[in-house]
Amino acid sequence: MVSVAESRREEILRWLDEVMDPEVPVLSIRELGVLRDVEVGDGDVVVVMTPTYSGCPAMHAMETDVVETLARHGVPNVRVKTVYAPAWTTDWISDEAKAKLEAYGIAAPSRVEADDLVPLRRRTPTPCPYCKSVNTTMRSEFGSTACKAILFCNSCSQPFELFKPI
């Protein structure tokens, strides 16, 4: 039998599916892996979150969104607890979520290259999310947000971003 707290927890997790990454609005914070857990106490609810990168400026927006979303569903006492371990990894992003990223025009993360000092031009090419060509060039591993790299597709002449593996 499912306990009251457990069914409450699942209900809250479902509501939190409405909270999207403000920078990548096709992924919820749960799909992204930033939402780690929900702890239902007697008088309050603790939402456990972890940042993607140490200095991710979107964390504050996501925390505010969590509190506001739950308030809309009538949950008053919500606290956000930030944890750093285990460290966030793109491995937590499911295949289903990766497909959403690709459809949105952001290449999905693959594996980290074994040799850390391989020059950009000698990396395994990332397929273009628009035309699927592998004739692409990595321009920089630092993009518009901490979690993305900048690439260029030489086939369809489209700049695009990669959700970089970490």
Partner 1 sequence: MSAATPEGWVAGARSTTATSGVAENAFFEYLLRLADDRLVLGHRLSEWCGHGPILEEDIALANIALDLIGQASMLLKLAGEVEGKGRTEDTLAYFRDTVEFRNVQLVEMPNGDFAATIVRQFLFDAWDVLVLEKLLGAKHESLAGIAAKAHKEAKYHLRHSAEWVRMLGDGTAESHARAQRALDELWPYSTELFLTDDTDRAAVAAGNGVDVEPLRGPWRQTMDRVFAEATLTVPKDGFTPRGGRTGRHTEHLGRMLADMQSLARAHPGASW
Return the number of the residue (98 or 164) whose C-beta is nearest partner 1.
164
Per DSSP, helices labelled H in the chain are 4-16, 29-32, 59-72, 95-104
Which member of 71, 87, 103, 134 binds partner 1 (CB under 8 A)? 87
Measured distance CA(65)–CA(164) in Å, rounded: 25
Closest distance of CB 143 from partner 1, Å:
7
The answer to whether 24 and 104 have CB atoms below 8 angstroms apart is yes
**Is residue 6 close enough to count as binding partner 1 by CB under 8 A?**
no
**Is residue 146 close enough to count as binding partner 1 by CB under 8 A?**
yes
Which member of 91, 141, 154, 155 binds partner 1 (CB under 8 A)? 141
Closest distance of CB 131 from partner 1, Å:
22
* Cβ contacts of 28 within 8 Å, gap of 6 or more: 16, 17, 18, 19, 20, 21, 35
Give the binding range for partner 1 (CB under 8 A) out of 13-21, 24-32, 54-62, 64-72.
54-62
The tokens for 91 are 């491995």
**Is residue 55 close enough to count as binding partner 1 by CB under 8 A?**
yes
* Three-state DSSP class for residue 160: strand
**Is residue 37 close enough to count as binding partner 1 by CB under 8 A?**
no
Which member of 32, 58, 66, 164 binds partner 1 (CB under 8 A)? 164
Measured distance CA(151)–CA(127) in Å, rounded: 10
**Is residue 80 close enough to count as binding partner 1 by CB under 8 A?**
no
What type of residue is 111? Answer: R
Give the residue among 67, 92, 50 at the shortest CA–CA distance from 16. Answer: 67
Closest distance of CB 110 from partner 1, Å:
15
- The residues binding partner 1 (CB under 8 A) are 51, 53-57, 83-89, 112, 116-120, 139-144, 146, 150, 164, 166
